[in-house]
Amino acid sequence: MTTQSCILYDERLCHLTTSNTTVLCECICNGLETIAVFIGHALYLQRNVLGASCDTLVAARSAQRQVAGCPTQTQHKDGDGWGARFNNVTDMTFSASLNALIICDSGNHCVRMMQLTSPYTVSTVCGIPKFPGYIDGNIRLVQFNHPYGVAVADNGYDIFVTDYGNNAVRKINTKQSTVESILGKMAATTFMGEYADKVHTAMCCPTQIKLTKDNRFLLIVNSGVNSVCRLEIQPSSVKDKGRWVCVFACDKTAFVLKTCIQISKTGKCIIWRLMNANNGSDLSYMTLYNPNNGRVIFRKRMSFRPTTFLLYASPSHMWSKPGRIGTTCYALYCGRSGVSTLARVSLQLRWEILRLIFIAILKPNTGHPNTSHTFAILPLALLPLIIGFANDPFCVATDTYAC
């Protein structure tokens, strides 16, 4: 049996709207898994999507329920739900400890928060609305210049933001009411890695930012120099030299490549990057990296380029269709017609492997009356694949997909 056992495919396309969709986020609302979607300048909650099968998944526009903002009005206004106003939201993330969405309101140069319980109150965490600038210190006085990406620690009060216009990464501590620069500007860092790659750590238009599952590192898309930086959260033991920083996924291309990232359950980094920004193509690469050593584990060419994406794996729908087992990726992208599209992309094991797993689990054992099941004899070559898939659905054999 061949080891070519995983494929990626476009499972379903849901056309959202002719308006620009800026960002989406996976969250929990009233105990239900939800996708929060910004369309225009309004926030919608799309319920029960992640656990739904293909057959029951309804078109996004009919499942959406508007909870905050107005699609056609750009402004800064705090308040309850529909009374709140946003201006060009670029990213948001879910804080389980706060049961809230932390939102980068880039056009207002602010970081905002929205509670996920009715009446969905929106408040400003920090930043001076409509006044860009660069000031660290007291949370009431600080300024941002187009904050772009946001990540929040499990404790709920440490918020990390990429400050696109200031070429910096900022840390907001709502418990101590302070903001500090931790990468870029005057932040102190200690570089580790190949010296030739050090240039890729200089902050230039940072965009997306993700926090590893152990809350130890930040992964930052340094879009201006086509790299991903890994930054240690806590200051290093090197006296007066600041946090450790290194880079991976560097691309020597002179022009900026559209890049977005996500982190798998085992801490590996999935990077979706446009192949060539000059040829007008929608082709892109989806690559799995080990951020500890920068090694490429998996790479696949895709037929579209996303603006953002999130990953989701649930046992509840792994066996909902014959021949399908894997991880679902929701990718948001904008086609040439200007229509924003939400695509479901799944990593799938072939039926031959599924059949062996079925036999191993379900075959009755007639030789031993005290047991009801037995194990099938699996080819030894399949064992690493099955173990690897259980640990990380995107971690397949490196020789399966040549880089």
pLDDT tens string 116-145: 998 999 999 999 998 999 999 999 999 999
Residue 372: its pLDDT value, please? 47
Looking at residue 267, its pLDDT comes to 80
Domains of the chain: 6-359 (2.130.10.10)
Question: Residue 232 has what pLDDT?
Answer: 92
Q: What is the average per-residue pLDDT within 225-252?
A: 84
Q: Going edge to edge, which strands form the sheet with 21-29?
A: 21-29, 32-39, 42-47, 64-69
- In the numeric block, which tokens belong to residue 188? 């102190």
pTM confidence score? 0.80
Instruction: Say yes or no to pLDDT of 21 above 60.
Output: yes
CA 32 – CA 310 distance, rounded (Å): 17
63-96 pLDDT per residue, tens: 467 899 988 888 999 999 999 999 989 999 999 9
pLDDT in tens, 301-359: 777 777 788 776 544 344 444 444 556 677 777 666 666 666 766 665 555 555 555 55
pLDDT in tens, 246-256: 999 998 888 88
Looking at residue 77, what DSSP letter applies? B
175: pLDDT strictly greater than 50: yes
Q: Is beta strand 217-222 parallel, antiparallel or unpaired with respect to 206-211?
A: antiparallel
Please tell me the predicted confidence (pLDDT) of residue 72: 82
Sorting pLDDT into bands at 50, 70 and 90, what band is 236? low
Cα 324-8-287 angle, rounded to 5 deg: 130
Q: Which helix (H) or strand (E) element contains residue 389? A: helix 382-391
Written as one letter, the residue type at 90 is T
Measure the CA–CA gap between 69 and 4, rounded to whole angstroms. Answer: 47
User: Whole-angstrom Cα distance, residue 145 to residue 155?
Assistant: 26
